[in-house]
A and B are shown apart, each in its own frame.
Chain A
């Protein structure tokens, strides 16, 4: 078994030696690798150099800050803060109350004065006469009807 293993090892070693003999190392490969590495390195340096010139080659527009702030004002994006809003809200509320109060007064003065007591008294007295309202159960009603009728008679006379 040991003899067999030795034979295999020596066969492999001979094969490897032959492989190297048949395929010699290319004389220019080292220089080609180094050239490629240098090329890569130079490209990195050139990119870095180019990038560093970017801001210098493109001056910042002097009016851009003003344009941005102007746009923000124009779009009215600056909202009113709550502390600033409180006095404005108070004034607005006061104005609203004044308008509502004045409006209600005007409407009231325009409305025709109607004496609702007369038709109500007439209806109640008719109902009472027809027996729809019983005096013994609705004493309060009876009293109010009588007082209304009395008032009507007074006004009529």
Chain B
């Protein structure tokens, strides 16, 4: 059964149809939220709220885009809200306004024990702006097309193309530097 058929049945109150949609996309959404927010409980909350919101606004899903891109745009908004809230609290508690390096450091440190390259990717993403991180997740981890990214992030394809180009350049430069530092630290 297609996503649209499942969504139409769910609109009529079929809980099982909606549960099937949850089962199909919960993992992808969770990993996207985790990649962007880099915090397990925040990612779980973002996914959970995204499905609740998706069900409430299911009548707006007309099947013009895939269900995944539609629900991802809902999830992106939830992640942005979470990030803003955490940033505000962080500023209140510490008086420190830089948002790049502070969130998700614990998770990235855990990756160090599991895989060097993953750790370096995580460390480099920490150096990026929040919006670049969103974009780079979909580029590197999901390998989505520009059209799909544009639909999720709600911006023009041309904007996505130029942003992807500059973000990738920035990321790669930062990654090479990070790699050198890491190797130097290992050799010391």
| Chain A residues in the interface with B (C-beta under 8 A) | 39-40, 43-44, 46-47, 49-51, 53-58, 60-61, 64-65, 67-69, 71-72, 75, 77-82, 84
Interface of A is mostly: helix
Contact B31 A68 (CB under 8 A): no
- Residue in B40, B110, B120 whose beta carbon sits within 8 Å of that of A50 in the complex: B120
Interface of B is mostly: helix
Among B18-26, B92-100, B154-162, the stretch that binds chain A is B18-26
Contact A57 B175 (CB under 8 A): no
Q: Does B82 contact A (CB under 8 A)?
A: no
0/1 per residue, B118-136, Cβ < 8 Å to A? 1111100000000000000
Q: Whole-angstrom distance between the alpha carbons of A50 and B19 in the complex?
A: 32
Given the complex, which residues of B lie within 8 Å of A61, measured CB to CB? 30, 40, 44
Contact B175 A46 (CB under 8 A): yes
Among B51-59, B62-70, B73-81, B83-91, the stretch that binds chain A is B51-59
Q: Whole-angstrom distance between the alpha carbons of A53 and B108 in the complex?
A: 13
State how many angstroms separate the Cβ of B177 from the closest Cβ of chain A. 10
Given the complex, which residues of A lie within 8 Å of B120, measured CB to CB? 46, 50
